[in-house]
Amino acid sequence: MDEGTRVVDGDEDDPNDAVVVWRPADMTTADWTYEAGGETYTTAESNPDYPDDEQLVVVAFERALEEAWPEWTTVDPSDLYEGVKNRNLPLFGFPESRLEPIAPDPPNDVDNSSD
């Protein structure tokens, strides 16, 4: 799974669209920490059904990207992580196998009519 890949959370019934902004080759879900309710957790702790040594994938949700950074789709995928951090957008760590790739939206200028 590469930076720029559109994904959804495979464990959710009605998931929100997200984008992979970082896939650090040397980090697992046990390495990524976040705070919730004044406590610090690892992605591995909040995903007990997945191995602790699973590849970490960091995403940003598309709604947040579109609101704070409308031109994010024109940026090189390798620059997404820094752009998200610079805009203080929330980042979420996931086990790679929990995420499911989704097809990109078709361009608005495509003519699907038949002659």
3-state secondary structure of 62: helix
Q: Which tokens sit at 11?
A: 């464990």
Which amino acid, one-letter code, is at 91? L
For the chain, list the domains and their CATH numbers: 6-101 (2.170.260)
- HEC string for 23-87: CCCCCECCCCEEEECCEEEECCCCCCCCCCCCEEEEEEEHHHHHHHCHHHHHCCHHHHHHHHHHC
CB 89 within 8 Å of CB 69: yes
Q: What is the pLDDT along the chain (115 residues), one digit of tens a residue?
A: 999 999 999 999 999 999 999 999 999 999 999 999 999 999 999 999 999 999 999 999 999 999 999 999 999 999 999 999 999 999 999 999 999 999 866 655 555 555 5
Q: What is the pLDDT of residue 103?
A: 81
